[in-house]
Structure 1
Amino acid sequence: MAAITRLHPPSLFSLKSSSSLITRFPSSLYSPRPLRTLSTTAILGSNAQDQVETVEAHGSIVGDLLDYLNESWTHFHATAEAKRQLIDAGFHLLNENDDWDLKPGGRYFFTRNMSCLVAFAVGEKYSAGNGFHVIAAHTDSPCLKLKPRSASTKSGCLMINVQTYGGGLWHTWFDRDLSVAGRVILRDGNGSFIQKLVKVKRPLLRIPTLAIHLDRTVNKDGFKPNVETHLIPLLASKLEETASSETKEKSATTSTKAAHHPLLMQALSDEINCNVDDIVSIELNVCDTQPSCLGGGNNEFIFSGRLDNLASSYCALRALIDSCKSPGDLASEHAIRMVALFDNEEVGSGSIQGAGAPTMFQAMRRIISCLAEKYVGECSFERAVRQSFLVSADMAHGVHPNFMDKHEEYHRPEMQKGLVIKHNANQRYATSGVTSFLFQEIGKIHNLPTQEFVVRNDMGCGSTIGPILASGAGIRTVDCGIAQLSMHSVREICGKEDIDIAYKYFKAFYQTFSSIDSKLIVDS
């Protein structure tokens, strides 16, 4: 079977800067590239060609989502790939530090910290005070991150000390083929510094479980690892048995001082083709190396890490791009269509690149001012916010067939049955009766299914960026998501059909929400 190829994302990520800390975007980032690196059979199974033809005939984005997931080992890589796709689609890259020159009908985006992105398309009939139609998601997922000093040695083994990020199902990280990916800062030899993305694609690390012979009660009492002492990846056996004499001599003089094992640093330098000494800083995640793929008896499922929440991020990104791809798509639009992809949702959003920062609303105010070509008072921004609508898109809890009692009896979302609208009386979700109605009207018009979810009264409820953004400036918000199982596992599962439903729903939101919203009469 012929392989479908896709090049890996560029390792350089740029943000224009006048300081000595510079980041450069290579011209290769702008060139088109083929589609997939995995063989079609590996992704789709033995009837791969038929599957691909069927998917393409129905305009499915599932194959492209698999590409995106396989490129996006980290939040940095997810943002870089989103950036590449926006540029390929004709969106103009802005810098937050520069003046903006915006025009009706224009398409723009900017990034922050290489892990947060805001993109928008201006309707050709836009005027100051009109609303924003926004889909917001997040780029981060629970994972293990290297500690600032990660090098340790135990029983003759080189170990990597890690921090837990977010609320992961940490037992699922044991006995997986792991590696590292993230961001490094390099000294370029001219007194400047370059930020690069790195991904060591080969299995580099592993967290072994304890043999059952040494833990006889594990199946009865449960596997309860201590995340500080047991969740430490193994890098190598002791250096004396694996290294050359030159490496041993160098290691003997640096091992007590080095923050990270020389073997790890060498793997990074080999991947990005630089000298070890040029690496001045690293920010790395531990990542599972198993590719995202289709699975199930009918290839109806997506098996992957980081579905929460890259599946939502990609559906939103693709919907924005495709809703204004053709000439005339924005000709009758009075609003501004926007995607906001934030970092750090899994740890509360309280960062400069998280939804707790005023990034999105600052951008809105700035956009209004630029398009008005004059100073815009507070009332223009407030009027715009009152006319705006936010879709907070985050994966939803599908009903588990082995644990059906964990769901409220009449709110059991199923995979392959459409988007899930989330409700919570205690405002863990931002959905209201009005926002739910407006959002479901989109589905009714376009014959797209929705489901509804509330958590049981005797269980705690998670939350999303929805309430954070809704309360930030008073924007109308609905919380929704794609039903999935194994949430926060190293390997998650969702329905293939739900991806296309979400994409179509989000695209319809951009294209038709203005007309739907105009029919809602407010009794003042």
Structure 2
Amino acid sequence: MDLKYEFANGWKVIKEMNNMENVMSYSKEYIDFLNKSKTERLCAREIIRLASSQGFISIEEVIKKGKIESGDKIFAENKDKGVALFVIGEKDIEEGMKIIASHIDSPRLDLKQNPLYEDDNMAYFKTHYYGGIKKYQWVSMPLALYGVAILQDGTKVDIAIGDDEEDPVFCINDLLPHLSSEQNQKKMSEAIGGEDLNVLIGSIPFDEEENATVKYNMLKLLNEKYGITEEDFLSAEIEIVPAGKAKDLGIDKSMVISYGQDDRVCAFAGVKAIFETEKPEYTAVTLCVDKEETGSYGNTGMHSKFFENTVAELINLQGNYSDLKIKRAMSRSRILSGDVNAAYDPNFSSAYEKTNSAHMGKGVAIMKYSGSRGKSGTSDANAEFVCEVRRIFNKENVVWQTGELGKVDQGGGGTVAYILANYGAEVLDCGVGLLSMHAPYEVASKADIFEMYRGYKAFLNINL
């Protein structure tokens, strides 16, 4: 009996299992998904498009049919910003579900409601940053603009500028080093302020004398392309994100670099895993929600009743509806909270406790607890459920490891796990380690993202 345990090298195991071709194929699909999912709205739409191609039908269609059966594939949309995918199990939903829960929003800059102004013959958009960012990382880089505007007559207009080959891009100015002696004395968190994140969008004035301003020219150009007026910004959700595509990273193409991998990397794995789930014993679910980066509040966040209400609709379709069945379904569920972990970074080793950090290339990482410092705000999975997941992964030869968010006193963070745990469900955080988390471009190992997909698939399909 070997009393010692060491986490495996993912690439070594992948090569031994002749899985290199599968890893690269999966990564190619994932990169394509990222490039179509620069915002939570685009991500939700892409998931629904993919699900529809796999035979999933909307819950509205199912309600019209009036019943559900084992093996039915169903999707529910939440206000264009969230999606739940279900494969109905052999057991009643009341007996509990197997759930992969991830978020599809990412740190970014949002346009303020009154964003457009002109200063010294240049036009800018004012922004309000969303989620935990390092503000200095967003200056002097190409930016794209995505979102929706609801016009006065109720028309919804999709806006996308910055990623097509012929599109212009935008940027936030930084101060030249020749004049930055005062800026250099500030802390990194203060060198660029929130009100300094103003996006440069143009400099040519309109040519009519009474409207000879750059601002008016920007409005005219936007009106010509999208039909919007300045007042329409009040009923718009427009986001500033990094311009550019997700790409392979490294001479060996072993990693992926992209905006928004936190947490679309876990969402995509959950989506792929449920596509390969047929007639499970327990109803399988992939749940993709919004607003995690700002606390999971609002009607599209995990705190909303969207998922609970959807489960109620499905239980009603199974007959003999009661609120008690909903409570039983939620409390008896087993959940992997799919969210990313902090991968150990040798460049910043002092922030990590190496033996309890996730490492690049060593597989999917489970995180028993999160929170800050003294586990504040954590969802701490119990040992029984950790062992259950461990056994499932080992049974399917999934390469896995454990991880924490850095040294105990360094800081920390949380996920949606605690919200689902409030129902009494068993919940364990499970995702991949990222380098440069929350930066405009984040880095993930292809070995880890592939093993995460394999782990999620095993979890949805295997019961011990």
TM range (shorter): 0.7 to 0.9
Aligned equivalents of 1:339, 1:159: Cα separation in 2 = 40
Q: Does 1:263 align with 2:218?
A: yes
Task: Verify: 1:360 aligned to 2:307, yes or no.
Answer: yes
Among 141, 159, 162, which residue is 1:198 paired with?
159
Letter in 2 for 1:469: L
Corresponding residue number in structure 2 for 1:165: 130
Pairing 1:297-312 to 2, within 5 Å after superposition: 297-312=251-266
Q: What is the CA-CA distance between 1:315 and the residue it aligns to? A: 0.8
Tell me the CA shift for residue 122 of structure 1.
Answer: 0.5
Quickly say closer, same or farther: Cα 1:217–1:226, change in 2 above 3 A. closer
Name the counterpart of 2:32: 67
Structure 2 unaligned spans of 5+: 1-18, 370-374
In the aligned structure 1, how far is the partner of 2:129 from the partner of 2:340?
21
1:435-446 mapped onto 2 (5 Å cutoff): 435-446=385-396
Residue of structure 1 in register with 2:3 after alignment? none
| Cα drift, residue 56 of structure 1 | 4.8
Alpha-carbon spacing, 1:292–1:91, altered in 2? closer, same or farther (3 Å):
same
Q: Cα 1:102–1:490, aligned 2, differ >3 Å: closer, same or farther?
A: farther
Tell whether 2:464 aligns with 1:499. no
Which residue identity does 1:305 align to in structure 2?
A: Y
Alignment counterpart, residue 284 of structure 1, candidates 238, 243, 248: 238
1:392 pairs with 2:337: yes
Residue 340 of structure 1, CA deviation: 1.0
* CA deviation vs aligned residue, 1:312-365 (integer Å, no higher than 9, x gap): 111111111122xxxxx21xx331111111110000011110001122122222
Shift of 1:185: 2.0
Quote the residue 1:85 is aligned against: 50
Residue identity matched to 1:231: L
Q: What is the aligned partner in structure 1 of residue 268 from structure 2?
A: 314
Distance in 2, Cα, partners of 1:228 & 1:383: 45
Q: Which amino acid aligns with 2:347?
A: N
User: Secondary structure in 1 aligned to 2:407?
Assistant: coil
2:227 is matched with which residue?
275
**Identity in percent:** 23
Q: How do 1:129-208 and structure 2 match up within 5 A?
A: 129-186=94-151, 193-200=154-161, 201=163, 202-208=167-173
TM-superposed CA distance for 1:179, in Å, is 2.0
Stretches of structure 1 lacking an aligned partner (at least 5 in a row)? 1-53, 256-260, 324-328, 517-524
Q: 2:409 aligns with which of 452, 458, 464?
A: 458
| 1:115-159 deviation per Cα after TM superposition (whole angstroms, max 9, x unaligned) | 111111102x23352211111111111110000000122222111
2:75 aligned residue (109, 124, 128): 109
Q: Does the 8 Å CA contact 2:183/2:191 hold for their aligned counterparts?
A: no
Contact 1:109–1:119 under 8 Å retained in 2: yes
CA distance in 2, matches of 1:221, 1:437: 48
Partner of 2:434: 484
1:435 CA drift (Å): 1.9
State the partner residue of 1:417. Answer: 362
TM-superposition CA deviations, 1:387-429 (whole Å, max 9, x none): 3111101110000111222112420211111111113354523
Could you tell me whether the CA contact under 8 Å between 1:164 and 1:227 is conserved in 2?
Answer: no
When normalised by structure 1's length, the TM-score is 0.77
Q: Quick one: structure 1 residues 158 and 464, their matched pair in 2 at CA, closer, same or farther if it must change by over 3 Å?
A: same
Distance 1:182 1:98, change over 3 A: farther
What is the aligned partner in structure 2 of residue 339 from structure 1?
Answer: 286
Q: Is the 8 A contact 1:130 1:383 kept in 2?
A: yes
Q: Does 1:349 pair with 2:296?
A: yes
Deviation (angstroms), 1:220? 7.0
* 2:325 corresponds to: 380
3-state SS in 2 of match to 1:364? helix
* 1:407 is aligned to 2:359: no
Q: Which has the higher contact order (CA 8 A, sep 6+)?
A: 2
Q: Which range is displaced more, 154-163 or 210-219?
A: 210-219
1:225 to 191, 203, 206: 191
Structure 1 348/262 Cα, relative in aligned 2: closer, same or farther at 3 Å?
Answer: farther
Match of 1:474 in 2: 424
**Contact 1:177/1:203, CA 8 A, preserved across alignment:** no
Determine the C-alpha separation between the residues in 2 that align with 1:305 and 1:492.
6
**Distance in 1 between the 2:223 and 2:247 partners?**
27
Residue type at the aligned position of 1:400: D
Q: Give the counterpart letter for 2:51 in structure 1.
A: L
Q: Deviations along 1:212-236, whole A, 9 cap, x unmatched?
A: 0101366676543343332111112
Going from structure 1 to structure 2, the CA distance change for 1:321 and 1:130 (only over 3 Å counts) comes to same
1:312, 1:394 within 8 Å by CA — same for their partners in 2?
yes
Work out whether 1:94 is the aligned partner of 2:59.
Answer: yes
**Contact 1:76–1:197 (CA under 8 A) maintained in structure 2:** no
Cα deviation, 1:424-446, whole Å, max 9, x if unaligned, reads 35452342212211111121011
Helix, strand or coil at the partner of 1:114: coil
Partners of 2:135 and 2:194 within 8 A in 1: no
2:179 alignment partner in structure 1: 214
Residues 1:406 and 1:95: Cα distance change in structure 2 (over 3 Å): same
Q: Does the aligned pair in 2 maintain the 1:225–1:231 contact within 8 Å? A: no
User: Any idea what SS the aligned residue of 2:41 has?
Assistant: helix
Matches within 5 A, 1:25-40: none
Cα pair distance change 1:152/1:478, threshold 3 Å: same
Find the aligned partners of 2:61 and 2:381 in 1 and give their Cα distance. 31
- Whole-Å separation in 2 of the counterparts to 1:359 and 1:500: 30
Q: Alignment partner of 2:172: what SS?
A: coil
Aligned AA (2:411): G
For the structure 1 residues 155 and 59, does the alpha-carbon distance in structure 2 shift closer, same or farther, using more than 3 Å as the test? closer
